């Protein structure tokens, strides 16, 4: 199953065949392609994909523009701001990591973690907060995929 123009979930023979076709097309077009691989999941790509869909919808709503007109910079901006707001409002320590500099052997200031490193449960909490925050601003973010399933199970 293709999530976006650069992400595939291969979980069946059919999705494997589609992925191979896509890789072949990319190679024929570009003659050089680099791939990353992630096996298994601490949390499904569905939640990660949903986060980016929601953030794009939120930016479009706040800036009164179409979702297609949202820039990478605007998306990155809301993502960083949402993480900061979540941390300030909840005090969730799992949001932070302490970088270590191997040259100086010093720990740096704590920084916000990448959302790709959130566990399934952490992402569920963050998505729930984001959905509620958007609702308070007048935007309804539709629950979909694994997140919707986890919401039903939690109810």
Same-domain pairing of 65 and 19:
no
Give me the number of domains the chain comprises: 2
pLDDT at position 53 is 92
User: Which letter, b or e, does each residue of 98-134 get, where b requires 16 or more Cβ atoms within 10 Å of its Cβ?
Assistant: eeeeeeeeeeeeeeeeebeebeeebbbbbbebbbebb
Q: What is the pLDDT of residue 42?
A: 45
Instruction: Give the integer Cα–Cα distance in Å for 153 and 140.
Output: 21
The answer on 9 and 25 residing in a single domain is yes
The token pair that represents 82 in the structure block:
């949402």
Q: Please indicate, yes or no, whether residues 139 and 76 belong to a single structural domain of this protein.
A: yes
Query: How much is the pLDDT for 41?
Result: 52
Q: Answer yes or no: do 125 and 104 share one domain.
A: yes
Q: Are residues 17 and 81 in the same domain?
A: no
Domain range holding 4?
A: 1-40
Token couple for 134: 């958007």
* Per-residue pLDDT tens listing for the chain (155 residues): 444 556 667 777 887 888 888 889 888 999 988 877 766 554 555 788 899 999 999 999 999 999 999 999 999 999 999 999 999 999 999 999 999 889 999 988 999 999 988 988 899 999 999 999 999 999 999 888 788 788 888 87
């Amino acid at each position: 199953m293709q999530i976006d123009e650069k992400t595939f979930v291969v979980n069946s023979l059919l999705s494997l065949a589609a992925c191979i076709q896509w890789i072949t097309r990319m190679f024929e077009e570009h003659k050089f392609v680099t791939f990353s691989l992630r096996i298994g999941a601490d949390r499904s790509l569905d939640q990660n994909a949903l986060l980016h869909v929601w953030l794009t919808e939120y930016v479009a709503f706040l800036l009164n523009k179409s979702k297609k007109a949202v820039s990478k910079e605007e998306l990155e901006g809301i993502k960083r701001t949402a993480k900061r707001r979540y941390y300030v409002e909840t005090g969730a320590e799992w949001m932070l990591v302490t970088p270590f500099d191997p040259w100086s052997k010093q720990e740096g200031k704590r920084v916000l973690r990448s959302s790709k490193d959130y566990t399934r449960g952490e992402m569920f909490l963050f998505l729930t907060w984001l959905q509620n925050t958007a609702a308070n601003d007048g935007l309804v973010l539709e629950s979909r995929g694994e997140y919707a399933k986890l919401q039903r199970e939690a109810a």
